[in-house]
Amino acid sequence: MTTISASDEADLRAMAANRGRDLRARIGFALFIGAISWFLIGGFVPLIWFAAVTAGQLIDHLLAEPLRAATPAPISRMRRNLFLFSMAANAALYSGLALYLWFQGSPAGKVFAILSMTGSIINNALQMAPTPLGLKPVLGPHIGYLLGAPLVLGLISPGVDLGQMALISCGGAVFVLHAWLAVKRIQETNARMTAALDQAQQANAAKSDFLATISHEIRTPMNAVVAAGSLLRRTELTPDQADHVAMLANASEVLLGLLNDVLDLSRIESGKLEVDPGPFDLVEKLQAATRLWSAKTPAGVTLAFEPGDLPDRVITDPLRFQQIISNLLSNATKFTRRGFIVVRGGCIEADGETAPRLWVEVEDSGSGMDEETAARVFSSFEQGSTGVTRAHGGTGLGLSISRRLAELMGGTLTVRSQLGVGSTFRLEIPLVLAEAAAGAAGAVDRVAEGRAEGAVRVLLAEDHEVNQRIVRLMLEPLGAEVTVAGTGAEAVAMALLAPYDVILMDMQMPVMGGVEASARIRAGDGPNVATPILALTANAMSEHRRQWAEVGVDVFITKPVEMQALIDHVSAAVSTAPRPTDAEQAA
């Protein structure tokens, strides 16, 4: 079987799809033309013509059906020629009644015939402009009728002036020329649009690469800053030193928040942001957020948490849930100079039509908003007034991102506000209860008591010396024995020699990256084929998560690393992984 070129195949499939969608419209127009023709000339010819057109259109539809298949087979030259012939035959038949009207009808019939043929030329020219392969078979019959009918009439009818008919044909030729120029303009416009789309896609890809690079390059030193602050808090500090560490931590949080806002907005707009549901302690997380933001509220403002009838544990994306609550509390502390901020929550029972829902509100007695401001406060880069950015800082992205995150989680984020009185932001998401966290404390104790059982063995693949030191300072005091590999290749070699309880793997490393190294460890026959591998990386885009998932790495820890988060992930991995045997330990 001889197949056709890729461009011809693309044209054929596009034409088949368009003709499939327009089948009813073509038959409807045929019914209209047949009715007018019957009114003008009467008889059975319009009825016979309509029946023939309908049959031809149905045959054409059946011939094109394989070209519209979801998993189409290659198109042979014979099928292409058959389809094009069907299109040409249907075009000739479609204008056949107009040709009959021209020779048999009254002057009104001749005018209607010309209008019918010119209308068919315009419609088909516009429809086939993006698919040049279909222009000749579809337009050929209509153009032939329009230019030839007057000349033939002038030749075969003694009472008709041939010169006048020739002028009519010339007028038809001018019309065809205009139609051809319109088609060329459409094709040129389509070509420019395609080129612009390609450039936009290339620019978008370059933007994504730039954001990924910037994210990595900023998160790597930020990891050292945030982790150093966390480690300093564990030491004995003077009051002045404690204040300095607090300033360092606050500045780090602000910088990291700005970075996350920009990255999240980019992911949301490109459709790459995904939620990752999991069980967590709801009340504990809200209490932690309240404690964190209590230290940041202005003097004269009280921040309270009223749990109400909140369940202990739920299933949703804990990271995104915390991000929304933090954004709402950040907004409340910015705009509340005195009075109160209250975090409260509860449940909405199912009522037969809607599923149960969890709601959390953040109410403040701040400056509030009028209706116009409240209507646009969730738009990107929007803030209450032009002076807000200078007075309070920020990008104006927090509330916009929070609403989009709520929608991704299957919920809503709304606001009630009154100017000069305060605002209440309400988050509602589907309520999915989680079981009690049995054994969670034991997972943490596993690391803390590692020395009593035999030290928990951790293989750290990380090329940045500061990050190597940070992870060791975080884990070794808890009883972990950390072995460092400076490249992915070194990690693979070490994983073949000795068993480990958990492997922490960076993504971008010299010689061999973390994704490839993880794949080789999983595919090998060493003692760590089933050892939990945790991605510990500054590459935070969703495509990076997919790359890790493809090699069997599901836990993704983004730099800068929060100390407790790292301990929790390592503890959970160690508690679920089989301990190496004594023989493997000795090896």
> What backbone phi and psi angles, to 5 degrees, belong to 285?
-65, -40
- pLDDT at site 78: 87
Residue pair 31/50 in contact by the 8 Å Cβ criterion: yes
How buried is 258 (Cβ within 10 angstroms: 0-12 exposed, 13-18 middle, 19+ buried)? middle
Residue pair 504/475 in contact by the 8 Å Cβ criterion: no
User: CA torsion angle for 394, 400, 406, 408 (degrees, to 10)?
Assistant: -120
SS3 sequence of 59-109: HHHHHHHHHHCCCCCCCEHHHHHHHHHHHHHHHHHHCHHHHHHHHHCCHHH
Residue pair 227/474 in contact by the 8 Å Cβ criterion: yes
Residue pair 485/460 in contact by the 8 Å Cβ criterion: yes
> What backbone phi and psi angles, to 5 degrees, belong to 395?
-100, -10
- What is the CB neighbour count within 10 angstroms for residue 284? 12
472 DSSP assignment? H
- What is the CB neighbour count within 10 angstroms for residue 97? 26
Q: Whole-angstrom Cα distance, residue 2 to residue 182?
A: 34
Q: How far is CA 255 from CA 86, 218, 258, 260, in A?
A: 65, 10, 5, 9
Six token digits for residue 380? 């990107």
Residue pair 315/275 in contact by the 8 Å Cβ criterion: no
Q: Whole-angstrom Cα distance, residue 547 to residue 234?
A: 36
Residue pair 325/286 in contact by the 8 Å Cβ criterion: yes
Residue pair 139/121 in contact by the 8 Å Cβ criterion: yes
Who contacts 281 (Cβ-Cβ below 8 Å, separation ≥6)?
312, 313, 437
Q: Which residue has the tokens 């808890």?
A: 478
pTM of the full structure: 0.51
Q: Whole-angstrom Cα distance, residue 323 to residue 398?
A: 9
Residues 278-430, CATH architecture: 2-Layer Sandwich (3.30)
- pLDDT at site 58: 93
SS3 sequence of 415-451: EEEECCCEEEEEEEEECCECCCCCCHHHHHHHHHCHH
Q: Mind listing the pLDDT tens digit of every residue in the chain (587 residues)?
A: 566 788 888 888 888 888 888 899 889 999 999 999 898 888 899 999 999 999 999 999 998 888 888 776 788 888 888 989 999 999 999 989 998 988 886 888 888 888 989 988 888 888 888 888 888 998 999 999 999 989 998 888 888 888 989 999 999 999 999 989 988 998 898 889 988 988 888 887 777 677 667 766 777 777 777 777 777 877 888 888 888 887 777 777 767 767 777 777 766 766 667 777 888 889 888 988 888 888 888 888 999 999 888 998 898 888 789 889 988 998 899 889 999 999 999 999 887 777 899 999 999 999 899 888 888 888 765 554 444 443 444 455 788 889 988 998 999 999 999 998 999 999 999 999 886 544 434 444 545 454 445 678 999 999 888 888 888 888 888 888 999 999 999 999 999 999 999 999 998 888 899 999 999 999 888 898 989 999 887 665 667 778 888 888 878 887 777 777 788 888 888 876 655 555 444 45
- pLDDT at site 396: 59
- pLDDT at site 342: 95
Q: How far is CA 439 from CA 34, 88, 202, 442, 572, in A?
A: 80, 75, 49, 5, 10
- pLDDT at site 322: 85
> What backbone phi and psi angles, to 5 degrees, belong to 575?
-70, -25
CATH number of 451-586: 3.40.50.2300
Strand partners for 344: 306, 361
Q: Whole-angstrom Cα distance, residue 517 to residue 509?
A: 10
Q: How far is CA 159 from CA 155, 162, 361, in A?
A: 10, 9, 89
